[in-house]
Amino acid sequence: MKSFAALFVLGAYVAPAFAMVVPRKSGNLTPVTVRGNAFFAGEERFYIRGVAYQPGGAADAADPLLDIKSLKRDIENFKKLGINTIRVYTIDNSQDHDEGMKLLDDAGIYLALDANTPKYSLNRETEQTLHRSYNDVYLQSVFATVDAFAGYNNLLLFFSGNEVINAKNNTVAATYIKAVTRDMKQYISNHASRQIPVGYSAADVAENIKQQALFFNCGTEDERADFFAFNDYSWCDPSSFTQSGWDKKVETYKDYSIPLFLSEFGCITNTREWGEIAALYSNNMTGVYSGGLVYEYTVEPNGYGLVEVTPNGNIEPNEDFERLAEAYKKTKNPSGTGGFNENGSPSQCPPPDDEWEVESSLLPTIPENAKQFMNKGAGDGPGLEGDGSHFAGEASMSTATPGSGIPTRTPDGQAANNTGGESAASFGVHIPFQFVGMIAGSVMFGMSLVL
């Protein structure tokens, strides 16, 4: 990828103080931006038509973008499906992705990427492990993932977490996920050459999904997510826009001011006829939703896949695949801009109650040792072989002043209008966390990344 390397030189002029600035441009696809509650590629409304792509599933945690032979084969199927996006849950941030990203770019496919890996993620086991796992070693890995992908035009967005809140009783995780979102946004502004959307992919927990959506879109600009997404399995064929309850999910979020989409969908209770494709890309929904990602490409033990992997390593599209390709083919996007809302207002933070145990909307301040990355860059990523971050490094020491995550520069290379993110970030409210120094005795390297 000579062209990619040559462009790196261009990055240097952007802001000499930031030696780690990621190259300005690579790939032919138009980068996707956020406008109001929608995504745009240039002047065109962008709807996510995508599939989750993690052959081997979560347990295997292999990087599918490094297996070029399989990727080439699978891209042919992505083209048959007519999709424009894949979601990948785990990549190896110590490796170069030029070849795989170029193949995707050439095929017109964007990447929605999770910034976590099983070993470098928040540990939601208890409130203590959550606090302990939001540390500098974890953030270094997340930021290294940003560095590894920010230069690709076809990097659509980053997920700052996936289904970390998966029950009624772990909503306390919300402040930590939102802190990671804030830190990623600040890091991108400081180091990337364009704004890249960052948001959370939530589990559809009936009791608290609305509070989650409101929470990620409330507070100061630096703390708010750029989009919100949830994994939805409520449309089980035979169904309809009203029978699935998707009509209510449009009504509920009609005033939501940032892009919303389904980060996974595709219930397998009965034969999948994919009626949801016609609904999702119709005017019934596009004023509020920007498409979604079908779960998932390969058949894994949980039975959701569109292609079977045969014992000799070949793949065979199944009937779900054929029906899905047909459904996409029949469904055009709405004309114009699909009724999006350009000028919504951020949400109010949801008050605590029995279903939402987030007492304060104050977020933890970035861990002291992680502040250095904002100026000097994250350095090399630990990849998938690293020791893991759950009990490494040092945790956050206090709650942050809203606004402390303002970047020190903008992605077009100008100095931002604040007194300096580093020093601003260090103004904590200094409410010491009750858990500081309290390392959980039990060694629980459990996974908080659940597919």
Ligand X SMILES: *[C@@H]1O[C@H](CO)[C@@H](O)[C@H](O)[C@H]1NC(C)=O
Q: Which residues bind ligand X (CB under 6 A)?
A: 126, 167, 169-170, 241-242, 247, 278-279, 282, 284, 410, 414, 416-417
Alpha-carbon distance 135 to 130, whole Å?
10
Q: Minimum distance from CB of 309 to ligand X (Å)?
A: 33
Q: Based on CB atoms, which residue is closest to ligand X, 359 or 387?
A: 359
Closest by alpha carbon to 166, among 214, 113, 203, 138?
Answer: 203
Q: Based on CB atoms, which residue is closest to ligand X, 282 or 369?
A: 282
Q: Minimum distance from CB of 166 to ligand X (Å)?
A: 10
Residues 125, 163, 276, 300: which is the catalytic one? 163
Q: Calculate the CA dihedral of residues 120, 122, 125, 131 and round it to 10 degrees.
A: 120
Q: Minimum distance from CB of 357 to ligand X (Å)?
A: 9
Q: Based on CB atoms, which residue is closest to ligand X, 68 or 167?
A: 167
Collapsing DSSP to helix, strand or coil, 218 comes out as strand
Tokens of 109: 């496919």
Question: Are 193 and 151 within 8 A, CB to CB?
Answer: yes
Angle between helices 98-106 and 68-81 (to 10 degrees): 20
Q: What pairing do the DSSP bridges indicate for beta strands 155-162 and 110-114?
A: parallel
Q: Minimum distance from CB of 273 to ligand X (Å)?
A: 13
Closest by alpha carbon to 199, among 176, 186, 182, 175?
Answer: 182
Q: Based on CB atoms, which residue is closest to ligand X, 357 or 394?
A: 357
Q: Based on CB atoms, which residue is closest to ligand X, 74 or 232?
A: 232
CA distances to 181, 192, 434 from 402, in Å: 14, 23, 20
Q: Minimum distance from CB of 281 to ligand X (Å)?
A: 8
Q: Based on CB atoms, which residue is closest to ligand X, 92 or 232?
A: 232
Amino acid at 357: E
Is 264 designated active site? Answer: yes
Closest by alpha carbon to 384, among 160, 88, 61, 59?
Answer: 61
Please give the angle made by the CA atoms of 128, 229 and 108, to the nearest 5 degrees: 125
Is 394 designated active site? Answer: no
Burial of 316 (0-12, 13-18, 19+ CB in 10 A): exposed
Q: Minimum distance from CB of 279 to ligand X (Å)?
A: 4
Q: Minimum distance from CB of 121 to ligand X (Å)?
A: 15
Residues 125, 223, 264, 300: which is the catalytic one? 264
**Residues ≥6 apart with Cβ < 8 Å to 235:** 244, 246, 265, 267, 275, 276, 279
Alpha-carbon distance 311 to 329, whole Å?
31
- Start-end of H helices in 239-316: 246-252, 275-280, 283-286
- Start-end of H helices in 217-274: 246-252
Q: Based on CB atoms, which residue is closest to ligand X, 411 or 428?
A: 411
Q: Based on CB atoms, which residue is closest to ligand X, 7 or 172?
A: 172
Q: Minimum distance from CB of 339 to ligand X (Å)?
A: 13
Active site residues: 163, 264
